[in-house]
Amino acid sequence: MYHKRRSPPGSAPATLVPHSVDGDSRHPKIDAIFYDAGKLVEAHSHSIEEIFSKIGAARFAWINISGLGDLETLKSVATRMKIHPLALEDVLNLGQRPKVEEADDYLFVIAQMVYLNREKAFCHEQISMFIADNLLVSIQEEPEFDVFDQVRARLRAGRSMIRQSGVDYLAYAMIDSIVDHYYPVLENVGNRLDQLERLALTHPTRDLVEQIRETKRTLTQLRRLAWPMRELVSSLMHDTRSMLSKTTKVYLRDCYEHTVQLMDLIESYREVSAGLMDLYVSSVGLRTNEIMRVLTVITSIFIPLTFIVGIYGMNFSAVSAAGKPMPLNMPELNQPYGYLSVMAVMFIIAAVQIYLFRRMKWL
């Protein structure tokens, strides 16, 4: 249910365990964009040194590292940016709570991106960012899904706000993009809840229960991720150091409101989902009730009738062994209209019962 912490319990802090990776993905994919209002240079490489050598091509630099399989790359970054070993350990240990940490030389942000994979299952991925004066390094797993494409597009577009501002605004843009991507996931959950609600009312099956719990679990996880995302944005907003410009903070406020709205939505959905099991149980109860009604009606009508026909199947002799007539033994059997009378009586009994059941709304 959760990514596990990598280092075994009790090992020294800041123990770095690279991600076990297969084959050639050992070398992370590194993309860099060097930009300022005037120009933009892009670079792609597997060597962090090569990328570093190009810093200075423009005023601001954004280096994005995809893939956690190579410790050396990370250590190079750590050395250059004076990153604390504990921060580096957090980068490698997936499943961290989103958070902001201020160090002397950089802001360290861990965020959790959410998306639906190809099977429409809920996934989340950790994204770490180190924000220094003119350099932003973001680190993530080899992504199945990339939330930053639009940010790149806006960078390339030129003359946009993002080109004229520093890396703090770029960091905002990235975080905002991460927050924005919670919405389609939540919408999907919302649709699912509507569908489950309809099914719970009409087709309460065992299978449905599993789906309800699955959706609940997704919501629990979303909440567990979105809540600290809100704190993250909030603490960036209230950061008292000079790392973030005043303009960026105005935008962060907007982003903060989105996280509040997200939490609102998640709480509303949780409320809806909380009622689904009740709905299901009540629906099963109603079905049992209906089944019982059918059983009761049929049984109540036929059991007395069966008793009556049983009576006239008894073998009491009208004549004793000694040949004496015993007129009190089932004289009805010898009436010309006996059979018809019994049938009529039974018909009346059944009719009265049906009438009564109808009046009780059981039929």
Chain residues 310-339 in contact with its own copies, contact rule CB under 8 A = 310-318, 320-321, 324-326, 328-330, 332-339
Cα 85 versus chain centre, distance? 33
Among 109, 162, 170, 171, binds its own copies (CB under 8 A): 162
Cα 258 versus chain centre, distance? 19
Q: Packing angle between helix 246-311 and helix 338-359, nearest 10 degrees?
A: 160
Q: How many residues bind its own copies (CB under 8 A)?
A: 119
- Which is nearer to its own copies, 53 or 268 (by Cβ)? 268
- Binding to its own copies (CB under 8 A) within 198-227 occurs at 201, 204, 206, 209-210, 213, 216-217, 220-221, 224
- Binding to its own copies (CB under 8 A) within 236-275 occurs at 250-251, 253-255, 257-258, 260-261, 264-265, 268, 271-272, 275
Among 22, 79, 119, 307, binds its own copies (CB under 8 A): 307
Contact 318, 327 (CB under 8 A): yes
Compute the least distance from the CB of residue 53 to its own copies, in Å.
31
- Binding to its own copies (CB under 8 A) within 68-107 occurs at 84, 86, 89-90, 95-97, 99
- Binding to its own copies (CB under 8 A) within 18-77 occurs at none
Q: Is 351 in the site for its own copies (CB under 8 A)?
A: no
User: Which residue is listed with tokens 């770029």?
Assistant: 170
Piece of 52-60, 137-145, 149-157, 236-244 that binds its own copies (CB under 8 A) = 149-157
Number of neighbouring beta carbons within 10 Å of residue 13: 8
Piece of 3-11, 26-34, 56-64, 73-81 that binds its own copies (CB under 8 A) = 3-11
Among 117, 164, 195, 296, binds its own copies (CB under 8 A): 296
Contact 179, 266 (CB under 8 A): no
- Cα separation, 35 vs 250, whole angstroms: 23
The DSSP result for 314-330, as a single string, is ----SB-TTS-B-TTS-
- Which is nearer to its own copies, 121 or 318 (by Cβ)? 318
- Cα separation, 214 vs 102, whole angstroms: 37
Q: Are strands 135-140 and 60-66 parallel, antiparallel or unpaired?
A: parallel
Q: How far is CA 11 from CA 16, 68, 70, in A?
A: 10, 20, 21
Compute the least distance from the CB of residue 362 to its own copies, in Å.
7
Among 123, 309, 345, 351, binds its own copies (CB under 8 A): 309
Question: What tokens appear for 91 in the block?
Answer: 């980068």
Q: How far is CA 261 from CA 87, 124, 179, 272, in A?
A: 30, 20, 11, 17
- Which is nearer to its own copies, 141 or 214 (by Cβ)? 214
